[in-house]
């Protein structure tokens, strides 16, 4: 077993590190979950794209470098190590793009992927509805066939749409066959948010950022060319997206390794006592464990094995690790954790966002159901 990176991979790491050290914006950009911050982040995305770092693992024809999954992991480690900005394009490049590579037509790939890579088109996820979150198959937004117009008429409401107020496009699930069994009558659409009949209403989060939106559809025309996968087969397409969301791409180990390293530095600065030092070591070990677990996943993927329900284990692990790590930072900071503008203020903001980790991408209760039934094979009741 060879546990080292190749010479080419080490060179790639050095190249990424040098570029990021020279280009990461200082001081950090304002939150990408505000209108002004989102615009600043798009400029950063443009710089990444021009240096061909925005989507390293994609084929060159769509703006990538044809990098291997190993190189992608290396890039991610370097990205977080450098303290580079959050990726406001993430729902497109990490969730939708893998689904388009798997289910998209050549025309859809040509049309969507290069603009997604450059940040010209930004994508949000339109799945949750006021009465359908965990029970995604319970969505009520409808797609009605309009033969004369050559497409579908969309109506209904989506909610909790991350950065929906700033994005140009939405990928969403709509009920296209009301008579079919719940999972069979759904279709996956790529929707232009500037289409007539779409209304986007920003929703302010507890931390003050307009990170969410509600999106309303009134007879919006979605042409046939904007159906991803086959009509009424949207559930299978959506499950491919959730595999990416919970498993490999949404939260790579580099993010948690960088947090653990910052905890080590915080512990040194704050003179952590023995108990706090033990917790820092635990966070660091957990981040490393997640890194090696991811290496195992990538090894299997490159051997042609498809990942499945075990991505739920990964999602529970990283989301709980993120909460623990941020709680520890707040304990180390003591009363200073409350200061919103100081040099350590990122920990509180990070903590507030970490609390959402066990909810988004499917709640951890739902993940535990999946693990019980589909990984451990336990009976449903
Ligand atoms: C930060 C953040 C970003 C988000 N971004 C998006 C986005 O971009 N697009 C989008 O579509 N959605 C998004 N969501 C919504 C998210 O997907 C939903 O909040 C989530 O799926 C839960 O749905 P719900 O809020 O309707 O809660 P509910 O489904 O009503 O669940 C309420 C509680 O009941 C529990 N529960 C429900 N069913 C079961 C069960 N069968 N067994 C055990 N427990 C159960 C849940 O775990 C939860 O604790 C986001 C959420 C957050 C917090």
| Span 226-280, pLDDT tens digits | 999 999 999 999 998 887 777 677 789 999 999 999 999 999 999 999 999 999 9
Alpha carbon separation from 46 to 17, 42, 117 (Å, rounded)? 18, 6, 9
Q: Which atom of ligand 1 is nearest the CA belonging to 356?
A: 53
**How far, in Å, CA of 48 to CA of 16, rounded?**
11
Tell me which residue of 10, 29, 159 sits closest to 88, measured CA to CA.
29
pLDDT of residue 82: 97
245 counts as catalytic = yes
Q: Strands 151-158 and 142-146: what pairing?
A: antiparallel
Please give the sequence-ordered ranges of beta strands (E in DSSP) within the chain, or none if there are none. 123-126, 142-146, 151-158, 169-175, 186-192, 198-203, 212-223, 227-228
Whose alpha carbon is nearest atom 35 of ligand 1? 365
Ligand 1 centre distance from Cα of residue 363 (Å) = 5
**At which residue do the structure tokens 């890579």 appear?**
117
Query: Which residue among 134, 191, 244, 373 is best mutated to probe the pocket of ligand 1, counting the most ligand atoms within 8 A of its Cβ?
Result: 134
Ligand 1 centre distance from Cα of residue 357 (Å) = 10
Task: Report DSSP state, residue 275.
Answer: H
Ligand 1 centre distance from Cα of residue 359 (Å) = 5
pLDDT of residue 371: 95
**How far, in Å, CA of 117 to CA of 93, rounded?**
7
**How far, in Å, CA of 87 to CA of 138, rounded?**
30
Ligand 1 centre distance from Cα of residue 240 (Å) = 18
**How far, in Å, CA of 151 to CA of 141, rounded?**
16
**How far, in Å, CA of 58 to CA of 64, rounded?**
4
Whose alpha carbon is nearest atom 50 of ligand 1? 360
With a Cβ cut-off of 6 Å, ligand 1 is lined by 124-128, 133-134, 160-162, 356, 359-360, 362-363, 365-366, 369
Ligand 1 centre distance from Cα of residue 229 (Å) = 25
Give the active site residue among 43, 129, 245, 310: 245
pLDDT of residue 301: 87
Q: Which atom of ligand 1 is nearest the CA belonging to 363?
A: 47
Cα separation of the two ends of the chain: 42
Query: Which stretches in the chain have pLDDT values below 50?
Result: none
| Span 116-165, pLDDT tens digits | 999 999 999 999 999 999 999 999 999 999 999 999 999 999 999 999 99
**How far, in Å, CA of 161 to CA of 70, rounded?**
31
């Amino acid at each position: 077993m060879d546990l080292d990176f190749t010479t080419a991979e080490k060179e790639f790491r050095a190249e990424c590190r040098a570029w990021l050290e020279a280009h990461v914006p200082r001081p950090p950009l304002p939150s990408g979950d505000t209108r002004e911050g989102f615009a600043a982040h798009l400029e950063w995305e443009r710089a990444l794209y021009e240096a061909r770092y925005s989507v390293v693992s994609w084929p060159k024809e769509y703006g990538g470098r044809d990098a291997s999954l190993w190189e992608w992991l290396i890039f991610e480690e370097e990205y977080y190590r450098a303290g580079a900005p959050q990726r406001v394009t993430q729902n497109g490049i990490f969730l939708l793009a893998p689904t388009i590579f798997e289910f998209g037509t050549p025309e859809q790939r040509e049309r969507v992927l290069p603009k997604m890579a450059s940040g010209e088109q930004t994508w949000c996820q339109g799945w949750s509805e006021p009465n359908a979150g965990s029970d995604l198959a319970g969505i009520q937004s409808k797609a009605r066939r309009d033969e004369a117009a050559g497409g579908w008429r969309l109506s209904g409401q989506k909610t909790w749409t991350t950065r929906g107020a700033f994005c140009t496009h939405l990928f969403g699930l709509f009920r296209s066959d009301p008579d079919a069994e719940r999972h069979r009558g759904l279709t996956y659409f790529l929707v232009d948010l500037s289409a007539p009949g779409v209304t986007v209403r920003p929703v302010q989060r507890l931390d003050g950022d307009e990170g969410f939106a509600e999106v309303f559809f009134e007879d919006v025309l979605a042409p046939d060319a904007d159906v991803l996968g086959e009509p009424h087969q949207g559930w299978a397409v959506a499950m491919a997206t959730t595999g990416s969301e919970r498993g490999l791409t949404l939260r790579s180990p580099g993010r948690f390794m960088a947090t653990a390293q910052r905890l080590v530095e915080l512990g040194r600065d704050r003179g952590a006592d023995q108990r706090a030092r033990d917790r820092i070591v635990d966070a660091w070990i957990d981040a490393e464990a997640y890194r090696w677990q991811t290496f195992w996943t990538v090894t299997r993927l490159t051997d042609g094995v498809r990942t499945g329900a075990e991505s739920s284990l990964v999602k529970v692990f990283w989301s709980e690790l993120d909460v623990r790590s941020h709680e520890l930072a707040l304990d180390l900071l003591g009363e200073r954790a409350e200061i919103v503008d100081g040099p350590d203020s990122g920990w509180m903001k990070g903590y507030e966002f970490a609390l959402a980790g066990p909810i988004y991408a499917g709640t951890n209760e739902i993940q535990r159901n999946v693990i019980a039934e589909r990984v451990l094979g336990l009976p449903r009741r």
